[in-house]
Amino acid sequence: MGTLADLREATQNSSLSTYTIMKTKLCLIIVAACLPALLHAAPPVTKIEDLLKPHVVLNDFVVTAPASIKHSTSSTGKLQLSGELKDKSCTIVLRPKAGNWDISAYSYFRVDVTNRSDGIIWIRGRLDNTDALDWANSSSSMAYILPGERATLGFPFQRLESADDAPDIFYPMGARPNGFRYHWMAFRPESVIACRLAIRSSSEKLNLRDVQVSIAQPFGLKANARLFELPYLDKFGQVRQLDWPNKLHNETELAARAKKEALASRSDTGPKSFNRFGGWADGPKLEATGYFRTEKYKGRWWFVDPEGRLFFSHGANSIGFDQSTGLKGRESLFEWIPSATDISEARTKDNLHFMIANLNRTFGPDWEGKAYERVHTRLRQWGMNTVGAWSDYHLYENAKTPYTPILHVWRGNNPLGKNVPDPFSAEFEKRVEDGLKQLAVRSAADPFCLGVFIDNELGWYEDFVGNTLAGKPDMPARVAAIAFLKDKYTTIEALNTAWSTQYESWEALNAAPKDLKGVAEDRKALERLISNRYYKVCHDMMRKIFPNHLYLGSRIHKASPEVYEEATRYSDVLSVNRYMPLPAAGVPNGFDKPALIAEFHFGAPDRGVPGVGLTFVGDQLQRSRAYAAYVLDAVLQPNIVGTHWFAFPDQSAAARPTVGKPGENYQIGFVDVTDTPYPEITAYSRRLADVMYSLADRESVDFMRLLETTWSAHRSTPKSAR
């Protein structure tokens, strides 16, 4: 490229006219004046897809595979795998020759695969530290790959917080611009001893070509300095220094998207199989009671809608617009902070609400009615028929979509452990009664109310029995527990003999040691005593205040068999939160009760929100397929009656507000912060809704073959998913 001196010399030596020469000199003066600014102008924003491309290829591994699977390395250094699959499955392990891989300088591990097999393959991948399990010392991902496709099994892995080098202002974020991602499950990227690939297929033959292992997305403050430039978020609430497909750049784009969506919605009224509630319009007609209920029909459990039609609850949590992030003390993170004269709903005292601001930009100051109507339209078009927990109550008001309110009883009063109230206290009973009465004002006579959750993820997995015995002497739960033990043992001496303890009196009994002989049976009995009381109070109050509606339980995350049995005894539907590859393994065996998956999700790192949730995959296509496979697996189970995704919108890239710990900032939504849908997951949602009722009616299904035939029929995917 020529310099300014070269350009001057060329001008002086030319035979141009005086006017032309003067004009050229003027241009040179302007260019010279602007050059410093041009030279120091900010470079283009970083494309996420470039961050996630292979940076370093890892060839230094050995392969362990079943004898029936042959493996070789091509002239390009890529792995080839082929052979017979016993039971249509196998596990292949890649181990670094040096003993371990240190991938701590990066934040994304990827295995790229071309599937030349005759059928679809599902790879569940796991990066292992020493003593790895599926829930500890590991990082997991998965990919579904149709025949003929090349796809990425991507690991946006987590790491210990001690490795983080982000400035303090970014601490409230669970995932940060340097590539740090928090997860409760420990993983040490500096010490990876294996990459395990558990493969299932719809075919008995495996043929994987050009398998390449690599690492990407450099980690650390220095490597990502531009991403830390403040302000971090633009005026729409998006990360400024990153670009990705469908990122919003101006208000004109926002208006154009809304117009295009409105036009498309005129010709799409949702799945033809849905009646007005989202039940199976052409399916069996059972007794219609005017409200939702459950019934076991032909060997499997169902919701039955108010018109008597079978109903599978396909929904999402947190549907609405309260996607917020903390403001106080973090003002420099934001390019735009609304003033009192700006969009008032977009700012509360300590929080910013970018989604509300964007809806105001889309629809104007009176945005709410149009936005709520668009939510109902979207749900119908995407084949979703339930507004899940924590959703905006305005969505309950116009008889459009069934919904599930949630009542939180434990907040501010949980003496037995995390989120666990004292169910024997009069205060607990009153809280349940008062809370249900408040919900009843809106919903007790509403046929669109599917049922009510009470509480979420109580700490049944903690030592709530020990906490009970260690409580204050007059704490009602402790009084009940001591009374139970007295009734069994009569004297403290008899209990000491059974437990191998030396308590001087019943008053001194302040624990139930787990490791002492004779205690286990009594611990189980006390777990049953306490949880029985909790679920019975909730059940009885529901029958009193919501006599026509279902008690949907407490959304159990983890609990002992005793707690599950008591929850099953009193809940009309057992609700469980299951962040797993598929739901069936997470529902307790051996009980004859309808179950609802009340939370699950998959996140990916390729759309501008740094966190990837509790279960993660490599990109939007795999996120969509993981979601669809999860719901289809649930549809095929005889006791699962619904799945609710968490959550409808992405969380803020700057993290949702939290106190005392990093906040979640997960890319887990059906829509982003601008309220723009993710076309990949919404398309898969609609595809599975179109077939879910007919599939649920089948007696026997090959799950992998079902995925292949269902997805192959709609093989073309949105451009951004390719």
Residue 534 CA from chain centroid, whole number: 28
> Which pLDDT score is estimated for 515?
83
**pLDDT band, very low/low/confident/very high, at 405 (cuts 50, 70, 90):** very high
Q: Using CA atoms, how far apart are residues 536 and 121, in angstroms rounded to an integer?
A: 45
Sequence-distant (6+) residues with CB within 8 A of 251 are: 361
> Which pLDDT score is estimated for 371?
97
Residue 717 confidence (pLDDT) above 70: no
If you compute the radius of gyration of the chain from its CA atoms, what whole number of angstroms results? 29
Q: Using CA atoms, how far apart are residues 476 and 541, in angstroms rounded to an integer?
A: 19
> Which pLDDT score is estimated for 352?
94
Say whether the peptide bond before residue 520 is cis (omega within 30 degrees of 0).
no
Residue 21 confidence (pLDDT) above 90: no
Burial of 479 (0-12, 13-18, 19+ CB in 10 A): middle
Looking up tokens 């005593």 gives 529
Domain extents in the chain: 4-41, 48-229, 251-404+552-721, 464-524
Task: Give the β-pairing of 451-454 and 406-407.
Answer: parallel
- Pick the range with the lowest mean pLDDT from 90-94, 412-416, 530-534: 412-416
**pLDDT band, very low/low/confident/very high, at 42 (cuts 50, 70, 90):** low
Domains 48-229 and 251-404+552-721 share a fold: no
Amino acid, single-letter form, for residue 669: G
Lookup: tokens for 578: 């299951």
Q: Using CA atoms, how far apart are residues 140 and 46, in angstroms rounded to an integer?
A: 27
**pLDDT band, very low/low/confident/very high, at 413 (cuts 50, 70, 90):** confident
- At the fourth CATH level, the homologous superfamily of domain 251-404+552-721 is Glycosidases (3.20.20.80)
**pLDDT band, very low/low/confident/very high, at 6 (cuts 50, 70, 90):** very low
Sequence-distant (6+) residues with CB within 8 A of 96 are: 58, 60, 61, 192, 193, 194
**pLDDT band, very low/low/confident/very high, at 340 (cuts 50, 70, 90):** low
Lookup: tokens for 306: 């108010």
**pLDDT band, very low/low/confident/very high, at 714 (cuts 50, 70, 90):** low
**CA dihedral over 422, 428, 432, 435, signed as positive or negative:** negative
Q: Using CA atoms, how far apart are residues 467 and 374, in angstroms rounded to an integer?
A: 47
Q: Report pLDDT digits (tens) over 486-502.
A: 999 999 999 999 999 99
Does the domain formed by 48-229 have CATH 3.40.50.11540?
A: no
DSSP 355: H
> Which pLDDT score is estimated for 344?
67
> Which pLDDT score is estimated for 539?
98
Q: Report pLDDT digits (tens) over 640-689.
A: 999 999 999 999 999 999 877 889 999 999 999 999 999 999 999 999 99
400-430 burial, b at 16+ Cβ within 10 Å, e below that, comes to: bbbbbbbbebbeeebbbbebbbbbbbeebbe
Residue 14 confidence (pLDDT) above 60: no
> Which pLDDT score is estimated for 422?
97
Looking up tokens 């169910």 gives 423
Q: Using CA atoms, how far apart are residues 455 and 538, in angstroms rounded to an integer?
A: 10
